[in-house]
Amino acid sequence: MTLSQSLRKLIEVNAPLWAGEAEIIRTYWTSPVRTRETDKLWLKRQCWKEYAGLGDSEGETMGMVSDLEVKLKRMVPRLDIDLDRHDLYELLEKVFVEYRHYTLFADIYDTMLDPGESKLNANKLEPWPEEVALASRRVTVKKTNPKLGWRATDFTEGGYCTMYSEGAKLKGRPGLDGQIGRACQRVYDDEYGHMMHGIVGIDDAGLAKSDWDELTQLTLEQLRLRILMRNAQFNHPLSKERISDILAGKIEPIKFDFAKAESYLEESHAAAAE
C-alpha cells in the first residue's frame, strides 16, 4: 500500500519547514540564549499548548478540560441516539492524552522552583503572540474552509513531532535535561502515530487537484507560523536571518519516514475494513 503522488508532493514541500522546527529546538539546548528563566518560560508555554490546545474553550476557563465539561453535558444525553459512541471516545482520548502531556511538562516546571516561587497553575497559563497567530489562523481556517481546514491542522499538528524527537535526544543526561528527555520521549510515543494518521488519512478524502493545491498553501502557511511560534517559545535561539532562510526553504529537508507512513496507512485501512 503506497501513498499517492499528491500526498508525497505535499510532504516533500513541507519537509524543509519541519527541518526548521527541529533546528530551533536542537539549537536551543546548547544555545547562549538558554537560561533557567528561559527553560521555565518554554515549559510554561508548552503547558499552555498541551492544556489549552487552540484556546477556543467553551468552558469557564481556557483549556480542553474545561471545554470537555461543557461538551459532555451536551453529548452524554445523546449517546447512542444521534451521537456515535466512537466520536465521544475520540474526544475523551484526545483530552486525556493532551492532559497527560500537560502534567509531564508541568511537573518538570514545578521541580525547577526555588523556595517561595509559585507552582504552575493551569488556569493562569497564557499564550504568547506567535502562538496566538498560529492558533487563531487555524481556528479561522477550520471555520471558513470546512472541507480542508481541519485537514491542514491535522497535517501540521505536532510539526512531525520534531520538538519531541529533538527533546528525546536529551534522555540519559543528568538533571533537568534528562527529565526533559524522558517527558519528550513519552509525548513522542503518544503523538507519532496520531500525527501519521493525520497525514496518511488525507489520501482517503478523494481530493481534486485544486484541493491539493489549496491544502499545500494552507499547510505551508501553518508550518511557517509554527517556525515563528517555536523560535519565540524558546527565546529566539535562531537569528532573524536564519529564520528568513528557513522560511525561504534554504535548509536540508527532514527525512520523512515513508515506510512507516505506509505501514500506518495499511493499519488504518485494516481497521476500517474490520
- Cell numbers describing residue 181: 528527555
| Residue 53: CB minimum distance to Fe ion, A | 9
Compute the least distance from the CB of residue 102 to Fe ion, in Å: 8
Q: Give the nearest distance from C-beta 62 to Fe ion in angstroms.
A: 16
Least Å distance between CB 241 and Fe ion? 31
Site string for Fe ion, 225-264 (x = CB under 5 A): ----------------------------------------
The 8-class DSSP code of residue 155 comes to H
Residues 253 and 164: their CA atoms lie apart, in Å, by 18
Q: Which stretch binds Fe ion (CB under 5 A): 60-68, 71-79, 100-108, 213-221?
A: 100-108
Place of cell 516546571: 109
Instruction: Kindly indicate which of the ranges 55-63, 99-107, 206-214, 239-247 contains the residues binding Fe ion, using the contact rule CB under 5 A.
Output: 99-107
Residue 138 sits in the site that holds Fe ion (CB under 5 A): no
**Alpha-carbon distance values, 115 to 42, 119, 176 (Å):** 20, 10, 17
Q: How many residues bind Fe ion (CB under 5 A)?
A: 3
Nearer to Fe ion, 101 or 151 (CB): 101
For Fe ion, give the closer residue by CB, 49 or 151.
Answer: 49
* Subset of 14-53 contacting Fe ion (CB under 5 A): 50
Q: In angstroms, what is the minimal distance from the CB of 216 to Fe ion?
A: 25
Tell me the backbone φ, ψ of residue 83, rounded to 5 degrees: -115, 120
Q: Which of 51, 264 has the CB closer to Fe ion? A: 51
Q: Are 191 and 158 in contact (CB under 8 A)?
A: yes
Please identify, using beta-carbon distances, which residue of 48 and 212 lies nearer to Fe ion.
48
Nearer to Fe ion, 23 or 50 (CB): 50
Distance CA 12, CA 253 (A): 8
User: What is the helix (H) or strand (E) element at residue 204, kind and residue range?
Assistant: none
CB 166 within 8 A of CB 26: yes
Among 44, 45, 71, 101, contact with Fe ion (rule: CB under 5 A): 101
- Rounded to the nearest 10 degrees, the angle between the axes of helix 209-233 and helix 149-156 is 50
**Nearest Cα to Cα of residue 58 among 46, 82, 47, 74:** 74
| Shortest Cβ 153–Fe ion spacing (Å) | 14
Host H or E run for residue 92: helix 85-111
- 50 vs 67 by CB, closer to Fe ion: 50
Q: Confirm if 185 and 168 have CB atoms less than 8 A apart.
A: yes
User: Which residues sit at the interface with Fe ion, rule CB under 5 A?
Assistant: 50, 98, 101
